[in-house]
Structure 1
Amino acid sequence: MFRSSALLSLLLLAIGGYATPVVREPSPVKLPFAVRFNNGTNGALNIIEADRARINLIKEQGAALAEKHENVHKRASYSVSVTNEAVTYIASIGVGSPATSYDLIIDTGSSNTWVGAGKSYVKTSTSSSTGKSVSVSYGSGSFSGTEYTDTVTISSNLVITKQSIGVASRSSGFSGVDGILGIGPTVLTEGTLSGSSTTEIPTVTDNLYSQGTISTAAVGVYFAPTTVEETTNGELTFGGADTSKYTGTLSYVSLTSTSPAKYYWGINQSIKYGSTSILSSTAGIVDTGTTLIYIATDAYNKYKSATGATLDSATGLLRITTSQYNSLSNLVFTIGSKTYTLTPNAQIWPRSLNSYIGGSSSYVYLVVNDIGSNTGSGLDFIDGYTFLERFYTVYDTTNSRFGIATTAQTTATTN
């Protein structure tokens, strides 16, 4: 268990009086951000089982939102029982005044903030129960409890008053952490509060913006590839982007209008393996809570054939030999008018962690996998952690856009 890492927040402070223009200037604030690979059954990390539980929930939740907002009746059941997610990102967040520190998972694929999975909630003078029940399912876990409003301290200069939080009376699948800091789209909070299926709960990003702390409701995310089970390799930037963390141009694209991807951080992209198209331009999502890269079944089969990979029964990942690895081509993603390349090294699981996933040191394992449905579902890919660790990304709610740039890690050969 580990808690420290570099994490940067851009704080924009409001100055000026009532009915005058508001001017905000950035003030960098570092926060702890850690990556953790969680143990699975018998000590082995079951990436596929954990990711598929999350994917199935994303599909079901997206279908439910489409049914509610678009009168589209295509909801299906995707229930998979899993005890924990494969990879989590932990920040130490204060709640109350004086603040009690909680280790919370940072998640772009969910939007509720809650505590009580490990350390119990400590009431203070700023704690106020709304009397409403709150519950969220994550595919790989769940919580239920009571909604409170309280002061949330992300850092000494990132303080939110009257933030809605869930206080868990029951939780499952969250061993070693205290809850979640949800920074996904606000619409994902619909239906989580008792008494209303349409009420949305402002996220911490929403409230930092509405309370004048940041000028844009945006979060920049930086990861670096890791070859160890525990490391401090992440940085968040609330209110904008940290220019020191990326190279070249930070390019933005509008969020997709395709359902159900549009209810998450959804974008359109196409993919080529070498010069061969394997996925035409289509909608999917970017998600820090998913470990691997998932593509539509027909695209996955093309990738598998092109690489000569074999499905490994022990890990659920595609497996290649060292000689096949030496012949891998680039995997090229087109997002907007720009291309973003995963080199052969970026397409493989860190070889120093092969035993951790139940694999063999004799093989090389690929991080591209099957999403479980063919192209045309409205959610044809998920760019997970193994994609995001090679790029800098920005999740901009104010302008309904997604930003991406290369980093010094884009072409690193650490795996």
Structure 2
Amino acid sequence: MFPAASLLTTLLLALSIAASPVEIRNSPITLPIARRLNTSGGTINLLQHDQSRAAALKNVGESTLSRRTGSITVTNDAVSYIAAVGVGSPATTYYLIVDTGSSNTWVGADTAYVKTSTSVDTGEAVAVDYGSGSFSGTEYTDTVTLGDGLTITAQSIGVADRSEGFTGVDGIIGIGPLDLTEGTLTKEPDTTIPTVTDNLYSQGIISETVVGVSFEPTTSESDANGELTSYTGDIAYTPLTTTYPASYYWGINESIAYGSTTILAETAGIVDTGTTLILIASICNRATEDDTTGLLRITTTQYDDLEDLNFVVGSNTYALTPNGQIWPRALNTYIGGSTDYIYLIVSSIGTPSGEGLDFINGYTFLERFYSVFDTTTSQVGFATTAYTDATTN
């Protein structure tokens, strides 16, 4: 995380979802994290959810009005990684989705905002459309507490008067790039809002604006074991892409190959904790689309014949093993699927290649590779973990 001896002296949010976290240095702060499958609304169509989000992500450069209202079908958040975050003094605990694909922090979807002596109404209206959900309300500044005593003062907090697509969670803690907040305030649409990471840096709590994320594979509907920590292995970095609109996010250039066959030549896309699946503009036609879940499914024989899916970033190749390419079979019924089917977690992004955002490496990729989002030097880093070759699925 950010003790003097830690790697890069940074804030590293390790969203560890299995019994044992990745290798870490001792950290004085822990932040409970939980993975939840949202089954309250019945069957989850993961593909519809993620394609709706992908469509909204591509609209980042459009007018404020279209970004807020949009025409994307709203679906409940399907899979969430949730941190317990304190707001106010004394603090009320809110359970917020940790999202690298957005940058506003807001509460009120479930638990109502509680005003305290540190609450300041800025008089601004705020709204964000995520494609897979949206909120609108009033901006406040307030004290935010992460983990055991990590306190940010005067943090911008959206207080939702209305929200859609968020069930069983209270809102979002956005850790994406600063520019994603532009256009979210009504009176000052050209203004950006300092993010949680920005304020941690400006208030001297961390020395560099760097966030690290580590997921771990799990076969449980809800699992928790997270902490603010540092990775001790070797991390390979790649510069952020300059290709629009991927450049608005944690965008990188990569190519993807199935075995030795290239299925996506080097192009721009993003790394996003708010997307469940791996979405690409071109996929191998080796599977059948499942009407219920939206996922591609394969036979046992096809699974036995699967080759690695290779993500080439710079001079490094990150191989997603066959086991890493499938949805956890123990969780098939939670998404309305059949226990007898094998579902792929790789699918179509839903739009043609060549539009500047040709892939999204969602959390199913990040379960197998540690990632670092470095604002200070404009780069993203990856490293293998003990779970890269796991056979949990």
Q: Could you state the TM-score of these two structures normalised by the residue count of structure 1? A: 0.85
Asked if the contact 1:57–1:79 (Cα under 8 Å) also holds between the matched residues in 2, the reply is no
- The whole-number CA distance in structure 1 between the counterparts of 2:139 and 2:70 is 27
Give the 3-state SS of the residue equivalent to 2:60 in structure 1: helix
Hey, what does 2:223 align to over in structure 1?
231
Cα distance change on mapping 1:196 and 1:11 into 2, 3 Å: farther
Q: Deviation at 1:27?
A: 5.1
* 1:402 has 2:380 as partner: yes
The code of the aligned residue for 1:275 comes to S
Aligned mate of 1:369, from 329, 334, 347: 347
- The whole-number CA distance in structure 2 between the counterparts of 1:64 and 1:380 is 22
* 1:127 has 2:119 as partner: yes
Cα distance change on mapping 1:276 and 1:235 into 2, 3 Å: farther
Give deviations 1:256-284, integer Å, cap 9, x for gaps: 00000000110000011111111111000
Hey, what does 1:285 align to over in structure 2?
270
* 1:200 has 2:185 as partner: no
Aligned mate of 2:361, from 362, 380, 383: 383
- The whole-number CA distance in structure 2 between the counterparts of 1:370 and 1:289 is 17
Asked if the contact 2:10–2:208 (Cα under 8 Å) also holds between the matched residues in 1, the reply is no
Q: Deviation at 1:355?
A: 1.8
Hey, what does 1:144 align to over in structure 2?
136
Asked if the contact 2:178–2:195 (Cα under 8 Å) also holds between the matched residues in 1, the reply is yes
Hey, what does 1:35 align to over in structure 2?
35
Hey, what does 1:69 align to over in structure 2?
none
The code of the aligned residue for 2:44 comes to L
Asked if the contact 2:103–2:195 (Cα under 8 Å) also holds between the matched residues in 1, the reply is yes
- The whole-number CA distance in structure 2 between the counterparts of 1:368 and 1:139 is 20
Q: Deviation at 1:44?
A: 1.6
- The whole-number CA distance in structure 2 between the counterparts of 1:83 and 1:253 is 33
Hey, what does 2:235 align to over in structure 1?
250
Cα distance change on mapping 1:235 and 1:332 into 2, 3 Å: farther
1:307-322 residue pairs with structure 2 within 5 A? 308-322=286-300
* 1:266 has 2:255 as partner: no
- The whole-number CA distance in structure 2 between the counterparts of 1:10 and 1:394 is 14
Give the 3-state SS of the residue equivalent to 1:323 in structure 2: helix
Q: Deviation at 1:235?
A: 4.3
- The structure with the larger Rg is 1
Hey, what does 2:79 align to over in structure 1?
87
- The whole-number CA distance in structure 2 between the counterparts of 1:258 and 1:64 is 19
Q: Deviation at 1:46?
A: 1.3
Hey, what does 1:48 align to over in structure 2?
47
Q: Deviation at 1:331?
A: 0.6
RMSD: 2.2
- The whole-number CA distance in structure 2 between the counterparts of 1:293 and 1:155 is 30
Tell which has more relative contact order, 1 or 2 (C-alpha 8 A, sep 6+): 2
Asked if the contact 1:284–1:382 (Cα under 8 Å) also holds between the matched residues in 2, the reply is yes
- The whole-number CA distance in structure 2 between the counterparts of 1:24 and 1:112 is 21
Asked if the contact 1:117–1:168 (Cα under 8 Å) also holds between the matched residues in 2, the reply is yes
The code of the aligned residue for 2:201 comes to Y
Tell me the matched-pair count. Answer: 374
The code of the aligned residue for 1:109 comes to G
Hey, what does 2:21 align to over in structure 1?
none
> Which is worse superposed, 79-88 or 221-230?
79-88
The code of the aligned residue for 2:335 comes to I
- The whole-number CA distance in structure 1 between the counterparts of 2:137 and 2:87 is 16
Give deviations 1:362-399, integer Å, cap 9, x for gaps: 22111110012232110000000111100100111111
Cα distance change on mapping 1:83 and 1:37 into 2, 3 Å: same
Q: Deviation at 1:78?
A: 6.5
Give the 3-state SS of the residue equivalent to 1:61 in structure 2: coil
1:37-116 residue pairs with structure 2 within 5 A? 37-39=37-39, 41=41, 43-63=42-62, 79-116=71-108
The code of the aligned residue for 2:250 comes to W
- The whole-number CA distance in structure 2 between the counterparts of 1:171 and 1:356 is 24
Structure 1 runs not aligned, ≥5 long: 1-8, 14-22, 66-74
- The whole-number CA distance in structure 2 between the counterparts of 1:310 and 1:167 is 42
- The whole-number CA distance in structure 2 between the counterparts of 1:390 and 1:175 is 27
The code of the aligned residue for 1:56 comes to A
- The whole-number CA distance in structure 1 between the counterparts of 2:61 and 2:300 is 39
Give the 3-state SS of the residue equivalent to 2:339 in structure 1: coil
Hey, what does 1:72 align to over in structure 2?
none
Cα distance change on mapping 1:392 and 1:158 into 2, 3 Å: same
Q: Deviation at 1:63?
A: 4.8
Structure 2 runs not aligned, ≥5 long: 12-25
> Which is worse superposed, 392-401 or 152-161?
152-161
Q: Deviation at 1:12?
A: 6.0
Aligned mate of 1:324, from 293, 302, 311: 302
Aligned mate of 2:179, from 184, 187, 193: 187
Give deviations 1:244-301, integer Å, cap 9, x for gaps: xxx5x211111000000000110000011111111111000010111100001xx21x
Give deviations 1:223-262, integer Å, cap 9, x for gaps: 111111111154444xxx432xxx5x21111100000000
The code of the aligned residue for 1:264 comes to Y
The code of the aligned residue for 1:256 comes to T
- The whole-number CA distance in structure 1 between the counterparts of 2:306 and 2:94 is 43
Give deviations 1:145-169, integer Å, cap 9, x for gaps: 1111111111233110111111122
The code of the aligned residue for 2:58 comes to K
Give the 3-state SS of the residue equivalent to 2:29 in structure 1: strand
- The whole-number CA distance in structure 2 between the counterparts of 1:368 and 1:168 is 33
Q: Could you state the TM-score of these two structures normalised by the residue count of structure 2? A: 0.90
Give deviations 1:32-89, integer Å, cap 9, x for gaps: 1111111265x22210111111111101124559xxxxxxxxx9x9632223111111
Give deviations 1:188-224, integer Å, cap 9, x for gaps: 1011112122100000000000111001111111111
Hey, what does 1:215 align to over in structure 2?
207
